Structure 1
Amino acid sequence: MKKLYIISLLVLCWVAAGCSDWLDVAPSNQVNEEELYSTGDGYRHALNGVYLDLGTSTLYGQNLSWGFLDLLAQYYSSSSLNRENVYYQALNYEFEDSDVKSTISSIWSRAYNNIANCNNLINQITDADPLLFAQGEFEKNMIHGEALALRAFIHFEILRMFAPAMIKDDHKAYMPYVDVYPTLVPEYETNEEILKKVITDLKEAKRMLAECDITEEHKVWMSVNLRMLGSNISTGDIAEDDVFFAYRGYRMNYYAITAMLARVYFWKGEYKLAYDEAKEVLDAVDNNGRKCFSFMPYAELGENLKDYNSIIMCFFNKTLQENYEPFIMKSSQNRFYLVGFEKGQNELDRRLTVLLGSEGTNNYSRKYDIPLGTDGTDMIPNLRLSEMYYIMGEYFAREDNFAEAGKMLDEVRFNRGIVTTDLKSSIATLDNYHTEMLNDMRKEFVGEGQLFYQYKRLDKKPVNKAIFVFDKPNNEDV
């Protein structure tokens, strides 16, 4: 890396409405650093600026969800893509193509820019006076913990793209873990070293958020209506008058951090530790003793296309449907028509019926074709309940407890409408489990950018020419 740009945090100007009110940021185009961190609201704006940027098309608003990563996972038909376009090149792993290189470069640099913003925020808030914040030490810990979690999250995502999976680990250094601000020459580190730091940050963030999200007073924040829709706020709750404390499902809440630990341990090959974190998410209950995270009844999935009941954490993009629509229009030169998603393929599986739209004989995902103003339209799912079941199932399979492994997959499949599922009786080997898990993940994670990483983790190429390790940008500027 030649240099790491020292960036002053420019807070995004964003006037949001409805469910994005918590993301409202400073009304000017630029705010200097001294002014930004002179008030508690400035710290909120700095944190929200990171969330907003992560939801843009360069990152989770497209490339790292339904765009670039799902092309690499072979979700889409090549026949519906312009051969001269970056999407066709990505689908065919033409990583030497200049547009593909540009896309990968923008992901790298934008990710590290957000890490720099997190580091600046962490640096500023560590010694900040709690009296600056409307809710004092409580709010200071919440913002600090979320910034730590975001720093770990982004580093882990870079690792999953730009370093080999653990199954192919060659103990070389592929990227830096940048945890100071400013920095000019960060040191590159190995998979193990990066993962150790990711876990350390996530554990500290989890400790800090435990004092915010899972106390008796605030357990209600994890209920689905308050977490995802900002509704049903109790009288007297601080979220009633201050929306910053609502919509915890759009943020690095306590259980999002727990689920991230499960994901990281899973990647690292620490399957029992991954199981323990995933089980904590499954067992989570709100203030009324109801499960915080549950599947939408399959008969009602057509009314809740993203099943936000089961979302642990999502990103936000106000123009998501507008950005997605051109890729499912017949008149477009690049159409994201799905491969292997035929209606009638399994009439019981609602993911192959109500979640599919059709254009002639071609099918596409309806997950992001939700009109503005409809619940869920701005949500980009990143962490789901189903992933926790897959993680727990693999732990059981690796312990040769194939009946329990099958039960984990059966739970997901039943809640998607496959009421006849009985994998607990038919899975007999770890390879068998992986086959069934990947088949189900392909339907569950369409449009979410997660399947590519599972192919990589298990070294199971979706096509022979698949490439799992991205090249760093030529100039390595971030």
Structure 2
Amino acid sequence: MNKKYIALLLLVIASCYSCKKYLDVKPKSQIKEEYLFEKERGFIDALSGIYTLMARKPLYGDNLSMSFLDALAQRYRGEKKTNPYYNTINYNYNTDDAQDGKLLPVKTTIRSIWLSAYSGIANANNILSNMEEKRAVFTGDNYNLIRGEALGLRAFLHFDLLRMFGPMMADQATAKSIPYRTLVSREAQPLLPANEVIKLIINDLLEAEKLLSKDPIVSGAANDYIDFSKDLRKFRMNYLAVQATLARVYQYNNQPDEAYAYAKKVIASGKFSFVTSQDISTEGVCRDRTFRNEQLFALQINNMKAYTDSYFNRNPTNFEGYFLNNDNAVIEALFEKSSTDYRRQYLWSTFEGKLVSTKYLQLEDNAVGCVWPKNVVPVIKISEIYYIAAECAPDLNEATELLNEVLSHRGLDPLLGISSKAALKEALTKEYQKEFWAEGQLFYYYKRNKFSQIPGSNVPADSKVYVLPVPEDELIFNN
């Protein structure tokens, strides 16, 4: 089979992995491309399709939030070979031993992440490639909003692929990593060195930042489309989400000054508020389990209850009745036996002697007098931006102040002072472990900081653990 045929075949697979006719959103968007991009609304629908894809189980609706990535970070018990996540937790990336559905097929899961992310990137490229010649169809600032979001999403998806499939940046920045796709093309794309991919990500994000400078999330401007209304901007790749992603990328690339500057920009915006003790302690459906006002970027997940119940409810249905849990002693040690930390007090329940996260508990009661925090997965929260600013702050006094700002909104006493970089890293590690349960960020933190062993694992952590294998057909594609 020649390269061009393989290239065409794989592009079709990637772009149609979860969809028909290239875009997979509402039926009104499942129309031929030449008609889709005739009107401004068509571009908006195409953009919405990327968020729909990102919110599905292969990406942030499941694998990259509550299950697969957090299993890699040793969030859940899985020491027995009968455990469905045994191969995941032990980093057996090249096995698909599913045992008639009783085990997670790791190799297939990794491939589905890769294909789904590149499908989202292909859709972003399709939007971008059609925008210039159709510029006359756009009104107001919508050209900038749509183009800015598409560039931001392209960079965002490439960055998470790099964090999973790329090398350890501190040691192997010039090693081959992933393709950076900017065109809808049948041609094979090379695996680029990681440092080149980072540059392309940053370039896309900086352009997106300029385009989104009048984003309703900061300007308050009205818009004829609900997709661009101020109140719903956190569910899009908005101006602050782009800046927050830049802070993430610069930190990952060991550029602390730039990371600090962008983190401080987001903090200075004041376009967020921390969860209150009242919101988190309220009983029933009004409990703010995902800290909605702290979210800079979040995704709305369709039919979330069905599969969050299967992971975290008392009557799980997936993998022969297995639920994602951990031992009481492990969680108590993690939260340092705190009786005041909101994250421990209000986001866990005990079942059969095990502790289960209730962060994504989807109650069916109707909410009265409160904002219904349903069907949402946080992708970037303001707490992470404070952690980035603290880690990259020019002095330890400011780092302490930044950390204490988050701690004060978690029911904890302030730190009296951080006396060394080592003490700062210890404090930040504790916070990442507590804060991002079922959000998929902890594995990236361990990788970036080169933990020689991930806490809770007996497997030495090196590139075999931290670098997910590129799917075999992609390697053939680039041979």
Pick the aligned partner of 1:293 from 272, 275, 278: 272
- 1:335 matches 2:323: yes
CA contact (8 A) 2:386 2:403 kept: yes
CA contact (8 A) 1:145 1:206 kept: yes
3-state DSSP of counterpart to 2:298: strand
Distance 2:265 2:200 in 1: 22
Deviation of 1:255 (Å): 0.3
Deviation of 1:187 (Å): 2.1
Deviation of 1:113 (Å): 1.4
3-state DSSP of counterpart to 2:66: coil
1:247-396 to 2 correspondence within 5 Å? Answer: 247-284=232-269, 291-302=270-281, 303-332=287-316, 333-339=321-327, 340-342=330-332, 345-371=337-363, 375-396=372-393
Alignment-mate amino acid for residue 321 of structure 1: K
Distance 2:280 2:257 in 1: 32
Q: Percent identity?
A: 31
2:76 is matched with 76
Alignment-mate amino acid for residue 450 of structure 1: Q
Distance 1:380 1:328 in 2: 15
Deviation of 1:27 (Å): 3.4
1:120 is matched with 126
1:52-451 to 2 correspondence within 5 Å? Answer: 52-78=52-78, 83=82, 85=84, 87-98=85-96, 99-130=105-136, 132-133=137-138, 136-169=139-172, 171-213=174-216, 216-218=219-221, 237-238=222-223, 242-246=225-229, 247-284=232-269, 291-302=270-281, 303-332=287-316, 333-339=321-327, 340-342=330-332, 345-371=337-363, 375-396=372-393, 399=394, 401-418=395-412, 420-422=413-415, 424-425=416-417, 427-451=418-442
1:471 is matched with 469
How many residues of Structure 1 are paired with residues of Structure 2 in the alignment?
429
1:11-30 to 2 correspondence within 5 Å? Answer: 11-13=23-25, 25-27=26-28, 30=30
Deviation of 1:334 (Å): 1.9
Distance 1:238 1:151 in 2: 24
Alignment-mate amino acid for residue 244 of structure 2: A
Deviation of 1:127 (Å): 2.4
- 1:454 matches 2:445: yes
Alignment-mate amino acid for residue 440 of structure 2: G
3-state DSSP of counterpart to 2:350: strand
Distance 2:152 2:165 in 1: 20
Distance 1:216 1:328 in 2: 39
Distance 1:323 1:42 in 2: 31
CA deviation profile, 1:287-336 (whole Å, cap 9, x unmatched):
xxxx3112111342132111111100011212122211112244443211
3-state DSSP of counterpart to 2:247: helix
CA contact (8 A) 1:11 1:45 kept: no
1:226 is matched with none
TM-score, length-scaled by structure 1:
0.85
CA deviation profile, 1:23-55 (whole Å, cap 9, x unmatched):
xx3437x31111111111111111001100000
- 1:37 matches 2:37: yes
CA deviation profile, 1:170-229 (whole Å, cap 9, x unmatched):
5221211111122421122111100000000000011001033366452xxxxxxxxxxx
CA contact (8 A) 1:11 1:26 kept: no
Distance 1:216 1:178, change over 3 A: closer
Alignment-mate amino acid for residue 257 of structure 1: V
Distance 1:309 1:330, change over 3 A: closer
CA contact (8 A) 2:218 2:271 kept: no
Distance 1:305 1:329 in 2: 15
Deviation of 1:338 (Å): 3.1
Alignment-mate amino acid for residue 215 of structure 2: C
Distance 1:116 1:318 in 2: 22
2:101 is matched with none
Deviation of 1:344 (Å): 8.7
2:99 is matched with none
Distance 1:196 1:95 in 2: 28
3-state DSSP of counterpart to 2:363: coil
- Which consecutive aligned stretches of 4+ in structure 1 deviate over 6 angstroms post-superposition? none
Alignment-mate amino acid for residue 268 of structure 1: N
Deviation of 1:137 (Å): 4.4
CA contact (8 A) 2:205 2:246 kept: yes
CA contact (8 A) 2:173 2:195 kept: no
1:10 is matched with 22
Distance 1:116 1:429, change over 3 A: same
Distance 2:264 2:132 in 1: 32
Distance 1:457 1:322, change over 3 A: same
Alignment-mate amino acid for residue 265 of structure 1: Y
Alignment-mate amino acid for residue 55 of structure 1: A
Distance 1:251 1:188, change over 3 A: same
Distance 1:387 1:412 in 2: 9
Distance 2:52 2:397 in 1: 43
Deviates more, 1:385-394 or 1:342-351: 342-351
Q: Which runs of 5+ in 2 are unaligned?
A: 97-104, 282-286
Distance 1:414 1:217, change over 3 A: closer
Q: Which runs of 5+ in 1 are unaligned?
A: 14-24, 219-236, 285-290
Distance 2:173 2:238 in 1: 34
TM-score, length-scaled by structure 2:
0.85
Deviation of 1:434 (Å): 1.3
CA deviation profile, 1:326-353 (whole Å, cap 9, x unmatched):
1224444321113532389201101011
CA contact (8 A) 2:217 2:238 kept: no
Distance 1:198 1:160 in 2: 12
CA contact (8 A) 2:312 2:358 kept: no
CA contact (8 A) 1:59 1:107 kept: yes
